[in-house]
């Protein structure tokens, strides 16, 4: 069994959405999170959406979907959100072999073939963690975390841009934020993540370092940028992401955004 976890609990502060979760905002007239759910439905046996801020707006746009919800009452980071989903898995007496974790505002570009390749690569390498990566010519502009590899080429860490040294900022391989975890590994180690002294949050990327210290396999699947695209944190990123998506599918560039509205399928 494979279970997909979609993180959708954040407030979306930079998008200044006052009455709804940012994942319900339209991306080419379809809510961002609908792309996430439709992707997970194609590769997973069950999908869990972690909600928190403006949860009602998420329920509304996913009313016709067969979703299990997990509640993150306090926004304490991506690892804490994932832990809420893992607890829901246990409550429902489910026994997945793998869990996929993605963000509700950043799966518009992913194809089912990309995720199936990630799962197949994960199984072939017997990894504890597999993640998508891509080479970015200007990683500072996208603000993605850098993939840290050792002298053998093995992934051992992910360093967020704000924490990266000048040398680490020169690294072109970055983390777009889609993961495949061995369920046993993530269940046993989610509580080993330490709170960030800066933000007070718990980050899912810390599982990379935990796996590395245990000498467990961490598998990176390199993909092209147009298979992962941009995440959405600001109105400008939303507009830019739409333009990139339309260019990808050969539809030209859209010149203006549609008014924000709810999507009902």
Domain-wise residue ranges, the chain: 2-248
Residues of the chain short of pLDDT 50, as ranges, are 252-265
The closest of 124, 108, 105 to 116, measured between CA atoms, is 124
Q: What is the DSSP letter of 218?
A: E
Work out the burial of residue 124: count CB atoms within 10 Å of its CB; fewer than 13 is exposed, 13-18 middle, 19 or more buried: exposed
The closest of 106, 64, 65, 78 to 9, measured between CA atoms, is 78
What was the pLDDT predicted at 211?
98
- Tokens matching residue 69: 């919800």
**pTM score:** 0.90
What was the pLDDT predicted at 261?
40
Q: Are 12 and 22 in contact (CB under 8 A)?
A: yes
Query: Which of 1.10.10.10, 3.30.1600.10, 3.40.50.10190, 3.90.550.10 is the CATH number of 2-248?
Result: 3.90.550.10
Q: Are 234 and 15 in contact (CB under 8 A)?
A: yes
Q: Are 147 and 133 in contact (CB under 8 A)?
A: yes
What was the pLDDT predicted at 12?
64
Owner of token pair 């809510």: 31
């Amino acid at each position: 069994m494979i279970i997909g976890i979609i993180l959708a609990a954040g407030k979306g502060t930079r998008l200044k959405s006052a009455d709804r979760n940012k994942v319900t905002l339209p991306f080419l007239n379809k809510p961002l999170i609908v792309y996430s759910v439709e992707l997970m439905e194609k590769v997973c046996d069950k999908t869990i959406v972690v909600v928190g801020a403006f949860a009602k707006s998420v329920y509304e746009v996913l009313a016709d979907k067969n979703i299990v919800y997990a509640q993150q009452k306090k926004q304490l980071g991506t690892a804490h959100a994932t832990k809420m989903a893992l607890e829901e898995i246990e409550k429902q007496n489910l026994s997945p072999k793998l869990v996929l974790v993605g963000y509700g505002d950043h799966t518009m570009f992913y194809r089912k073939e990309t995720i199936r390749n990630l799962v197949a690569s994960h199984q072939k390498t017997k990894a504890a963690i597999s993640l998508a990566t891509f080479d970015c010519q200007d990683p500072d502009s996208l603000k993605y975390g850098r993939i840290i590899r050792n002298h053998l080429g093995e992934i051992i860490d992910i360093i967020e841009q704000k924490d990266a040294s000048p040398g680490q900022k020169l690294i072109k391989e970055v983390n777009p934020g889609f993961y495949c975890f061995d369920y046993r590994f993530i269940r046993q180690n989610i509580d080993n993540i330490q709170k960030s002294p800066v933000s007070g949050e718990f980050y899912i990327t810390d599982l990379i370092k935990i796996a590395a210290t245990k000498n467990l396999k961490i598998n990176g699947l390199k993909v092209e940028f147009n298979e992962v695209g941009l995440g959405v944190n600001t109105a400008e990123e939303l507009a830019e992401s739409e333009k990139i998506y339309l260019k990808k599918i050969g539809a030209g560039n859209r010149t203006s955004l549609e008014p924000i509205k709810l999507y009902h399928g």
